[in-house]
Amino acid sequence: MRVTEYGKHLTVTETAIPGLVVFDLPVHGDARGWFKENWQRDKMTSLGLPDFGPVQNNISFNDAVGTTRGIHAEPWDKWVSVATGRIFGAWVDLREGPTFGAVFTTELDPSKAIFVPRGVGNSYQTLDTDTAYTYLVNDHWSPDAAYSFLNLADETAAIAWPIPLDEVEISDKDKNHPRLAEVTPIPPKKTLVLGANGQLGRALRDQYGDAPHVEYADRVALDLASPDFATARRWRDYGLIINAAAYTKVDLAETSEGRKDAWAANVSGVTALARVASENGITLVHVSSDYVFDGTLDGPYREGDPVCPLGVYGQTKAAGDAIVQTVPRHFVIRTSWVIGDGANFVRTMASLAERGIDPKVVDDQVGRLTFTDDIARGIRHLVDTGAPFGVYNLTGGGDPQSWADIARDVFRLTGHDPARITGVSTEVYFASATAPVAPRPRNSVLDPTKLLATGWHVAPADSTLEQYLTVLREHTE
């Protein structure tokens, strides 16, 4: 029996299998025995270990040398270590992707541990008697979960077991697992897009496509207000939820009925969503608005500026932002003046131009157009690049403009005289309104510096507008 190595520093060694990392653990011993911190969240996450949120601790005790178990790939992460004794461990990547079938082996004693990411097959062979193999997992065992298994004797993996498999104790089930060519790879965690039939939802469909691990849902398919929402899915199978659903009728929100609906969708529903994301380690992307600000700032709004909404819609969006920011893994995407596939300001102006109508357009509200394709692309950029969680401003590029400026651009780009647009103040524009009108921020300019620092690039909004109108014209001809 080998003696546990004392006096190591806490260090990390990466392996050829992405996400599979080995930790050397400090073990302190004397004549009485030894002590170690087997799992220390702050220290280990500071070295790059995912904050994987274990919910269960399991121990497998093995009497004899040569006891062999595995190869099992479960849909959860594991923190594997040894309390007593010693093992030869073998791990095989059984996830979809280019490293499928990659193998890593090492010995573990109490001075070593290994983080095994979801979908990596786990197996071991005991090298000492009375070996206690321990592991933390971040999900409870479920018969409904998706598992994959690999035969311990698979010729492709070609694991060099210290003790030949025909000389050791193996369960009949482990003996009969499939060879690598017959293994069903573990797919990525699921992505769920909410609000999938809205303007942004349709852009997200174009961005993520029909990948089998991506699901799309509208309110009919998945109601956040349902008392069964917390159990509507096996949420531990999800890695990402993109919330593109919201109540956005800013003027109707000023009525008694609209106020109730706005708070139900933008606050109560978001609360239920945030609770599910927090409890299941899901990354939550939530799309917010320039309406969380009152528009009185002299200059662009940054992410850290205090929110100060003017109307009911803005108040509900600000409340939703605050709730989402309690989720450990979150992105709040603040955007403005959204244009996509559906009824919107640009389509309206193009239609008025074609019909010979000369509109009056507000000229004292300033911001940037933001196209849904850019929002969808920006969301994916943040998620895929592993950008730090937090709040990000995401708008089109270029110089800020008023609504009247944009209307003139639409007229010009569609071959009409931009002088047909008359700029008016917000007060004049709404002077004859008979229904409640929500207050609008005069300054909707959001500073994108934080997002640009992640490597994000976006075209000036006026050039994207030209492309948008070209496509619109092609579809209407």
Q: Taking 80 as the threshold, does the pLDDT of residue 477 lie above it?
A: no
Is 4 inside any structural domain? no
Boundary-marking domain end, from 126, 152, 182: 182
* Cα 184 to Cα 166: distance, rounded to the nearest angstrom: 26
What pLDDT, on a 0 to 100 scale, did the predictor assign at position 330? 98
What pLDDT, on a 0 to 100 scale, did the predictor assign at position 73? 95
What pLDDT, on a 0 to 100 scale, did the predictor assign at position 1? 46
Domain with residue 294: its CATH number is 3.40.50.720
> How many separate domains does the chain show?
2
Average of per-residue pLDDT across 178-188? 93
What is the CA angle 396-249-320, rounded to 5? 75
Q: Are residues 117 and 210 in the same domain?
A: no
* Cα 95 to Cα 117: distance, rounded to the nearest angstrom: 10
Q: Are residues 163 and 211 in the same domain?
A: no
Provide the pLDDT confidence category of residue 2 given band limits of 50, 70 and 90: low
Boundary-marking domain end, from 133, 159, 182: 182
Boundary-marking domain end, from 182, 198, 214: 182
User: What whole-number percentage of the chain has pLDDT above 70?
Assistant: 99
Q: Are residues 215 and 116 in the same domain?
A: no
User: What whole-number percentage of the chain has pLDDT above 90?
Assistant: 88
Its domain, for residue 145, covers: 11-182
Q: Are residues 177 and 195 in the same domain?
A: no
Sign of CA dihedral 463, 468, 474, 477: negative
Predicted confidence (pLDDT) per residue in 296-345, tens digit? 999 999 999 999 999 999 999 999 999 999 999 999 999 999 999 989 99
Positions annotated as catalytic residues are 72, 135
Provide the pLDDT confidence category of residue 7 given band limits of 50, 70 and 90: confident
Predicted confidence (pLDDT) per residue in 70-98, tens digit? 999 998 999 999 999 999 999 999 999 99
pTM for the predicted model, two decimal places: 0.89
Q: Are residues 109 and 194 in the same domain?
A: no
DSSP 8-state class, residue 254: G
> What residues contact residue 142 under an 8 Å CB cut-off, 6+ apart?
234, 236
* Cα 425 to Cα 326: distance, rounded to the nearest angstrom: 39
Average of per-residue pLDDT across 444-467? 95
Average of per-residue pLDDT across 367-393? 97
Q: Which tokens belong to 284?
A: 């939550």
